[in-house]
Structure 1
Amino acid sequence: MGSVKIKQKSMIIINFIIGILIAVSIKNINGNQTFVTLKTIQEIENQIEVERVDVENLNKLILEKKSNIAKYELEIEDTGSIKTILEKELDDAKVITGFKDVVGEGVVIRISDSERELEEWENPNDLVIHDKDVIMVINDLKVAGAEAISINGERLTTFSEIKCSGPTITINESTYGQPFVIKAVGDKKFLKSAMENPYSNINTKEYLYDIGFEVEEKDEIIIPKYSGEFKFEYIKEGD
């Protein structure tokens, strides 16, 4: 009987010790536990969304490249060369970058300085067309879907600059006086509607200062190609 009691006491002590060890272990685990905040969850979700969009864009790019390869292979089977396709792609690139004349429906816009007398409380600069006024018109046209734009015959490209030079405006390093004639190819009705928006900068200036402002729809507009040359000083070809 004595040995049985000793065994029972030993088991009790062992179980007690095990219980203490488990409690200490649980405490240590809880002490090292990091709770995830709602902000962290949101950041993770945002990162997942960014990665998802990247994967989607990569899949689209892969499909596009596969389509191009299939197109090239078909052209080689038919003609033995992809010269025609490459020439078409080059022409498309020239249209996009402004190195090719384009034609299409659109609008012709004429803006000029006000000819009325200056009131005593007015600033003379308010009655004059500045580069910022032209730029705002260009931005409105782009938002309205203009596919090609020129100012006084100068084709606008990604690298075009519009800046004031006294009473004149310099575009693509060529200087012109007013009136400024802006041509834009696109949906003529939509472009005209955007230009006639009463809340636009140019309409506000026309209302307040009587500047010259006309918009005319055209079934056919010819916009010439960019005649200058791009000179890169810092861009280098990647590996």
Structure 2
Amino acid sequence: MNRNNPKLMITVFSILVGILIASQMKLNVQLLTPVTVKSIMDTRKEIDAVRNEISELEKIVAQREAELTTLESINTGEVNIIDILKKDVMENRNRAGYTAMEGPGLEIIMYDNIGGGIGLNFNDYIIHDVDIMNIINDLRVAGAEAISINDQRIIASSEVKCGGPIIRVNGKSIGTPFVINAIGDPQLLMAAVNAPGTYGDNLTKIYGIGLQPYVKDKVEVAAYKGSFKFNYAKPMEEGE
């Protein structure tokens, strides 16, 4: 074969140029992904997640700015640190349930189905601890800020359990009628225990349990009167 054959040289050169042009065109081609309902929903979820993260970061920034303002006020002598500590103690007592509260909300009166019902045995027409707990959980989900049962404040460590014909709450025995007071948005609380399909609605319609909710402009919730301490749990050290 003649290495100086011009036709061969042109052919090889043309092939090389063609390969280079094809590679360049491939790099510049924009890949188009078909838009589907799932891809739109996934994108929306990602956007919502980012927005929620931004919102949480903004809250943290606002909290740190408030703390910085407080520290600057203490440093300049405009604010007494003792007053700040007293305010923190009061806020923590309120959150822990050691302070009596009042506000708009719901009063719920619950009582056993005294007359019984067709096809029901004795345990079906009396109120059990699980009934009280489900009503309390529904109220919490609806945004109740403070709850009590027969003047017994419900806190994180409160126990509600059956004890024969009575129910024990915070170690105290209480009997029917059970009066549950809850502070929060009255309409949301009412829907949580009275709307069709809720646990409270099923109690009344299926088992004939008495459940009478009343919207009130002023509901009083008693303070927690017991004491609570950690026997096993302890705060984690920073860095653990």
Task: State the TM-score bracket (shorter-chain normalisation).
Answer: 0.7 to 0.9
1:201 to 185, 190, 199: 199
Deviations 1:75-106 (A, max 9, x none): 55354532212211221121122122223344
Matched AA of 1:160: S
Q: Partner of 2:85 in structure 1?
A: 86
Matched AA of 1:107: L
Distance (whole Å) between structure 2 residues aligned to residue 13 and residue 210 of structure 1: 95
1:137 to 132, 135, 140: 135
Distance (whole Å) between structure 2 residues aligned to residue 198 and residue 135 of structure 1: 19
Change (3 A) 1:36 1:174: farther
Check conservation: 2:117, 2:208, Cα contact below 8 A.
no
TM (normalized to structure 2)?
Answer: 0.72
2:7 to 3, 6, 9: 9
Change (3 A) 1:35 1:167: farther
Distance (whole Å) between structure 1 residues aligned to residue 193 and residue 55 of structure 2: 37
Q: Secondary structure at the match of 1:87?
A: helix
CA RMSD between the two structures:
3.9
Matched AA of 2:108: I
Q: Partner of 1:229 in structure 2?
A: 228
Q: Partner of 2:69 in structure 1?
A: 70
Pairwise CA distance, 1:7: 6.8
Check conservation: 1:150, 1:223, Cα contact below 8 A.
yes
Pairwise CA distance, 1:204: 3.7
Q: Secondary structure at the match of 1:150?
A: strand
Matched AA of 1:224: A
Pairwise mapping of residues 131-170 of structure 1 onto structure 2 (< 5 A)?
131-170=129-168
Check conservation: 2:170, 2:226, Cα contact below 8 A.
no
Check conservation: 1:113, 1:128, Cα contact below 8 A.
yes
Q: Percent identity?
A: 28
Distance (whole Å) between structure 2 residues aligned to residue 78 and residue 179 of structure 1: 55
Change (3 A) 1:25 1:73: closer
Q: Secondary structure at the match of 1:138?
A: helix
Distance (whole Å) between structure 2 residues aligned to residue 20 and residue 146 of structure 1: 73
Pairwise CA distance, 1:127: 0.5
Q: Partner of 1:60 in structure 2?
A: 59
Matched AA of 1:162: V
Check conservation: 2:151, 2:221, Cα contact below 8 A.
no
Pairwise CA distance, 1:227: 1.7
Deviations 1:148-200 (A, max 9, x none): 10112221122333233443323334443333221222355764565554554
Residue segments in structure 2 that go unaligned for 5+ positions in a row: none
Deviations 1:212-232 (A, max 9, x none): 333443635241125230425
Matched AA of 2:6: Q
Distance (whole Å) between structure 1 residues aligned to residue 192 and residue 200 of structure 2: 11
Distance (whole Å) between structure 2 residues aligned to residue 206 and residue 88 of structure 1: 44
Check conservation: 1:148, 1:223, Cα contact below 8 A.
no
Q: Secondary structure at the match of 2:147?
A: strand
Query: How many residues align structurally?
Result: 230
Distance (whole Å) between structure 1 residues aligned to residue 41 and residue 196 of structure 2: 41
Pairwise CA distance, 1:123: 2.8
Q: Please say which of residues 145-154 and 201-210 is displaced more in the overlay.
A: 201-210
Residue segments in structure 1 that go unaligned for 5+ positions in a row: none
Q: Please say which of residues 187-196 and 94-103 is displaced more in the overlay.
A: 187-196
Check conservation: 1:183, 1:223, Cα contact below 8 A.
no
Check conservation: 1:130, 1:169, Cα contact below 8 A.
yes
Q: Secondary structure at the match of 1:122?
A: coil
Distance (whole Å) between structure 1 residues aligned to residue 209 and residue 141 of structure 2: 23
Are residues 1:183 and 2:181 paired? yes
Q: Partner of 2:218 in structure 1?
A: 219
Q: Please say which of residues 122-131 and 186-195 is displaced more in the overlay.
A: 186-195
Change (3 A) 1:117 1:190: closer
